[in-house]
Amino acid sequence: MNCGTRERHLGKNGVIEMSYWKGKNAFVTGADGFIGSWVAKTLVDQGANVTALVRDMKKQNNLDVMGIKGNLNVVQGDLVDYSVLERIANEFETEAVFHIAAQAIVGVANRSPLSTFESNIKGTWNILEAARNSKTVKKVIVASSDKAYGVQEKLPYTEESPLLGRYPYDASKACADILAQSYFTTYSLPVCITRNANTYGGGDMNFNRIIPGTIQSVLKNEIPIIRSDGTPERDYIYVKDIADAYLLLAEKMDKKGIPGEAFNFGTETPVKVIDLFNKIIELSGAKGVKPKVLGEAKNEIDRQWLSSKKAGNLLGWKPKYSLENGLKETIEWYRNHLK
């Protein structure tokens, strides 16, 4: 799959049609992070005019890693500053908002709940309010998470499952999710909500996550670490499938019945952490590597995976990558990057 798969396609009578996003003004929060940078890159590849909000200008961020820094507008500011978001919406005549920025590390959320709540909850209501007061914004995508569902007796999660997030990160995403629903119900703001499975791929620089962390350790001939006991089950989806899903959902929001809805995006294939580790070892070509199992992960859900039937039925979406194919590309990405 190419990030620009919908840049050009054959329409009726064999005529080449341009991308839906050609010339449209899109605003991406979190574009200097993992998923946000892939969404921003996909939009840039398809001809959109992209504006990114960056809080801290780090020595190296994903705008540099993805090679798109010179192809979009970069505004330095913070989600908790409403005036910055209002200015971006007005000055750049924003038509579509992709709100992906969040404090997304569970361990950090457990240690620093207040900063997590401020970024993930206040940042979301600021985005929604700026969009509500804008005369140009036509659609808003708010990134929630499968963690918002919390612990459920019935799996897989469907969009009708209650939001039972209880730990700090999970609760913050559930709050952001409900705020988005509130703005649709109360103000008819055209907003949709995404609830992703665990997303992986090149460009994830948070090496305390199992996939990039294990790959980095293996490529550096270090002992990989598993923070849990290896038994938790998760649904893992490749980042290119997620970027494609976000753009497709935003495009489909032009149709009646889509705005206001939440959509799960996953592979519907749960994998145990230890099995995921073994698959990475196999695909990387390493032999005889054993992880250091800490068994100390706390405040995390033990079993979770998603049903993506709604996305399939209403959007015509399904993942293009198997876990094996996605991991192969991911390992190769890190092999090149870590050189």
- Over residues 260-306, the pLDDT tens digits come to 999 999 999 999 999 999 999 999 998 888 888 887 776 667 888 99
User: Alpha-carbon distance 45 to 7, whole Å?
Assistant: 7
Q: 21-200+239-267+305-319 has which fold?
A: Rossmann fold (3.40.50)
Q: Is the pLDDT at 5 greater than 50, yes or no?
A: no
Q: In one letter, which amino acid is 197? A: A
Ranked by mean pLDDT, the top range of 57-71, 94-108, 123-137, 215-229 is 123-137
User: Alpha-carbon distance 324 to 238, whole Å?
Assistant: 10
Confidence of residue 208 (pLDDT cuts 50, 70, 90): confident
User: Alpha-carbon distance 271 to 27, whole Å?
Assistant: 34
What pLDDT, on a 0 to 100 scale, did the predictor assign at position 290?
85
Q: What is the pTM of this model?
A: 0.91
Strands 233-238, 198-200: pairing is: parallel
**In the block, which residue shows the tokens 């703005």?**
183
Q: Kind and range of the H or E element at 9?
A: strand 8-10
What pLDDT, on a 0 to 100 scale, did the predictor assign at position 300?
67
Would you name the residues annotated as active-site residues? 169
User: Alpha-carbon distance 8 to 47, whole Å?
Assistant: 10
Confidence of residue 2 (pLDDT cuts 50, 70, 90): very low
pLDDT higher at 143 or 289: 143
Task: Pull the structure tokens for residue 102.
Answer: 């969040």
What pLDDT, on a 0 to 100 scale, did the predictor assign at position 61?
86
What pLDDT, on a 0 to 100 scale, did the predictor assign at position 112?
87
Residue ranges of the alpha helices (H) in 253-322?
A: 273-284, 309-315
3-state secondary structure (DSSP) of residue 15: coil
User: Alpha-carbon distance 66 to 204, whole Å?
Assistant: 11
How distant is the alpha carbon of residue 136 from its chain centre?
A: 24
What pLDDT, on a 0 to 100 scale, did the predictor assign at position 228?
84
**In the block, which residue shows the tokens 């050009």?**
8
What pLDDT, on a 0 to 100 scale, did the predictor assign at position 1?
36
What's the whole-number average pLDDT of the chain?
91
Residues forming a β-bridge with 187:
none
Confidence of residue 6 (pLDDT cuts 50, 70, 90): very low
The residue among 37, 49, 26, 53 whose CA lies nearest residue 3 is 37
Instruction: Sketch the domain layout of the chain as residue ranges.
Output: 21-200+239-267+305-319
